[in-house]
Amino acid sequence: MLTDHAAPEDLIALRAAFDVDDDGESALGWEAVRAFEAEQGIVLPEPYRTFVAEITDGSYAGPPEYGLVGLTELPDDWGDDRPERVLSRPFPLTSAWLWEDDPRPTEETKTLLEQVFNDGSIVLGTDGCGMYWHLVVTGPHRGQVWFISGEGAVPFGASFGSTTGDCGFAGWVGHWAAGKPWFDA
């Protein structure tokens, strides 16, 4: 999985999956992407970076269930009472975490839970009912897509054991475009 350079075959597959045929009109453009990155203190991982700059910035068709939200947006069900999101702080997880079964004190898990939802990732969209897909932009799992819900968090990709899909944004989209269930392993 490349995170610093977009593979041409990934961009072709992303264009096909989202059926975008507007000559880049729905994309942000490179100037807007670089301005967002400078403001946030990050560099978006590829191929997502090129996707929002050249292909489209969000889509009603496509993963997740309620569509892909734009780079600077949050899903409608995100809520207004959450802590500030800080993309430049590293995403705190490196393995799946089911916090419902975590034996640590509530205050400790509450702090980590806030970091999971708000640090080091952009929200790609929602499957509804508090189930979100995040793209990690900072930390050891940069470039990985994670499923985060009220019960826990799990990375997407065959190497993590819960799916047969390839890791990263292109793998996540490709898995959806093939009509496969998210957790098919």
* Residue-wise pLDDT tens digits, 108-156: 888 999 999 999 999 999 999 999 999 999 999 999 999 999 899 999 9
Cα first-last separation, the chain = 20
* Residue-wise pLDDT tens digits, 63-114: 888 999 999 999 988 988 888 899 999 999 999 999 888 888 888 888 999 9
* Fold that domain 8-177 belongs to in CATH: SMI1/KNR4-like (3.40.1580)
Query: C-alpha dihedral over 52, 49, 92, 98, to 10 degrees?
Result: 50
Q: What are phi and psi of 160, to 5 degrees?
A: -100, -10
Q: How far apart are CA 182 and CA 115, in angstroms?
A: 24
What ranges do the domains of the chain cover? 8-177
Count the alpha carbons within 13 Å of 16 in the hemisphere toward its beta carbon: 11
pTM: 0.94
